[in-house]
């Protein structure tokens, strides 16, 4: 089983998802990383206490690190990972972030600004000039691309270069694109964040997050945040996430082909006033001719699709984002976010079409 890419011909991502994070290739070793449910380990070895490090967590981290081309640290949720990254920002330092970043992240950054912990500068993720200007004197540029749920795409190389020129670090939340479609560390980012809950886990059966740093010392600082904030994932969830990653490339490929085909059809649908689809990826958002009431009717009328929050699973999900009171006011009230799963294209389309027809 190949596990180390050679510089001459690095392994393709389709191979890395299958091969990374496996036990050593030795007679009698299992093919899969064992689930090791132990909080403590006999003293004197490399592993002592599971909040610091644990074998199943390490296997998952090896896989996520191999995919994002850095050193990964796993957390108990995406928000735990986000808070660990925010915790590294010095007192009073400037953070630049998108107006409609992931709700939890946006709310948390606003809370930290309100108590004077950070100074927050809000930008639009697709406004490179404004981002470059806002980075002057900043400590951290927090980006998401594409953004949740507005599907704005940032010019990552240009934004990262501008932030670095201004002396700011760059974190990219790569939850939407996944490492199958985009590896921000290769574009110069310092930290990549994931809600592993979403596409990496892929089956809507766990909560987990990860931070990945190109610099091993920075990764160690982030791991110490996990230790001190107490945001360690459990062994069973690490196993599930690693199992999910094995099919990540296949799932993203299939979900993306569903998304691009249906986004094109939605653009022609008489009940739909606007489609946001960046041309790649497994997520889209629509607005309806009939507004909020139509959006709620749509969510209540689907049968193959599931009306639920979250994204990145094998099953197609949709929801009206502004039903969440904390969602950014820049998100249109009637916007329905679509997370494409891996079901049959025509089943997904027929269901969406019949549900859309009930809204007019
Ligand atoms: C869901 C999500 C998060 C938060 O992750 P949790 O695992 O729910 O804590 C952060 N960023 C993005 C883009 C997300 O979609």
Cα separations in angstroms, 120 against 73, 79, 134, 228: 26, 18, 10, 25
- What is the model's pLDDT at position 6? 66
Instruction: Please tell me what DSSP assigns to residue 310.
Output: -
Same fold, 13-25+34-245 and 248-357: no
Catalytic residue among 117, 121, 198, 226: 198
Catalytic status, residue 173:
yes
- The residue whose CA has the least distance to atom 8 of ligand 1 is 78
Q: Which of 176, 192, 159, 167 is nearest to 85 (CA)?
A: 192
Task: Answer whether 207 contacts ligand 1 (Cβ < 6 A).
Answer: yes
User: Whose alpha carbon is nearest atom 2 of ligand 1?
Assistant: 195
pLDDT of residue 8: 77
> What's the rounded Cα separation, in Å, for the pair 192 and 226?
16
276 lines ligand 1 (CB under 6 A): no
Q: Per-residue b/e over 344-355, b at no fewer than 16 CB within 10 Å?
A: eeeebbebbeeb
User: Any catalytic annotation for residue 51?
Assistant: yes
- Per-residue pLDDT for the chain (360 aa), expressed as one digit of tens each? 445 556 678 899 999 999 999 999 999 999 999 999 999 999 999 999 999 999 999 999 999 999 999 999 999 999 999 999 999 999 999 999 999 899 999 999 999 999 999 999 999 999 999 999 999 999 999 999 999 999 999 999 999 999 999 999 999 999 999 999 999 999 999 999 999 999 999 999 999 999 999 999 999 999 999 999 999 999 999 999 999 999 999 999 999 999 999 999 999 999 999 999 999 999 999 999 999 999 999 999 999 999 999 999 999 999 999 999 999 999 999 999 999 999 999 999 999 999 999 998
- pLDDT, residue 170, reads 98
**Is any ligand 1 atom within 6 A of the Cβ of residue 170?**
no
Q: Using a 6 Å cutoff on CB, does residue 83 contact ligand 1?
A: no
Spell out the domain ranges in the chain.
Answer: 13-25+34-245, 248-357
Q: CATH 3.40.640.10: does it fit domain 13-25+34-245?
A: yes
Give the three-class secondary structure for 96. Answer: strand
Q: Is 144 in the pocket of ligand 1 (CB under 6 A)?
A: yes
pLDDT of res. 1: 45
- Determine whether domain 248-357 maps to CATH 3.40.50.720: no
* CA of residue 135 to ligand 1 center, whole Å: 24
Distance 195 CA to ligand 1 centre (A): 4
Instruction: Determine which residue's CA is closest to atom 11 belonging to ligand 1.
Output: 102
pTM, to two decimals? 0.96
Query: Known catalytic residue: 190?
Result: no
Q: Are 341 and 315 in contact (CB under 8 A)?
A: yes
Query: What is the best residue among 78, 103, 125, 331 to mutate for testing ligand 1's pocket, by most ligand atoms within 8 Å of CB?
Result: 78
């Amino acid at each position: 089983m190949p596990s180390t890419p050679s510089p001459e011909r690095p392994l393709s991502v389709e191979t890395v998802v299958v091969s990374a994070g496996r036990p050593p290739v030795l007679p009698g070793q299992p093919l899969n990383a064992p689930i090791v449910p132990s909080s403590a380990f006999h003293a004197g070895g490399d592993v002592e206490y599971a909040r610091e490090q644990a074998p199943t967590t390490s296997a998952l981290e090896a896989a996520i690190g191999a995919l994002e081309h850095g050193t990964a640290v796993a957390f108990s949720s995406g928000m735990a990972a986000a808070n660990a990254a925010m915790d590294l920002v010095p007192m009073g330092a400037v953070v630049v972030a998108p107006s409609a970043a992931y709700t939890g992240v946006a709310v948390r950054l606003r809370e930290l600004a309100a108590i004077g912990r950070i100074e927050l500068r809000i930008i639009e993720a697709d406004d490179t000039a404004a981002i470059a200007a806002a980075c002057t004197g900043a400590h951290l540029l927090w980006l998401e691309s594409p953004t949740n749920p507005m599907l704005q795409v940032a010019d990552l190389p240009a934004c990262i270069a501008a932030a670095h020129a201004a002396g700011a670090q760059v974190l990219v939340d790569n939850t939407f694109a996944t490492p199958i479609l985009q590896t921000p560390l290769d574009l110069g980012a310092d930290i990549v964040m994931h809600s592993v809950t979403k596409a990496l886990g892929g089956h809507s059966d766990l909560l987990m997050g990860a931070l990945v740093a190109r610099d091993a010392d920075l990764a160690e600082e982030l791991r110490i945040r996990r230790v001190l904030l107490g945001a360690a994932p459990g062994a069973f969830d690490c196993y599930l996430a690693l199992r999910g990653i094995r099919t990540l490339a296949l799932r993203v490929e299939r979900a993306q082909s569903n998304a691009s085909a249906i986004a094109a059809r939605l653009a022609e649908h008489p009940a739909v006033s606007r489609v946001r689809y960046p041309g790649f990826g497994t997520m889209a958002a629509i607005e309806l001719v009939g507004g909020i009431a139509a959006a709620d009717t749509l969510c209540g009328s689907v049968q193959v699709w599931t009306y639920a929050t979250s994204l990145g699973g094998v099953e197609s999900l949709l929801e009206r984002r502004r039903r969440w009171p904390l969602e950014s006011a820049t998100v249109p009230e009637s916007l329905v976010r679509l997370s494409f799963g891996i079901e049959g294209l025509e089943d997904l389309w027929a269901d969406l079409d019949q549900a859309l027809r009930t809204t007019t």
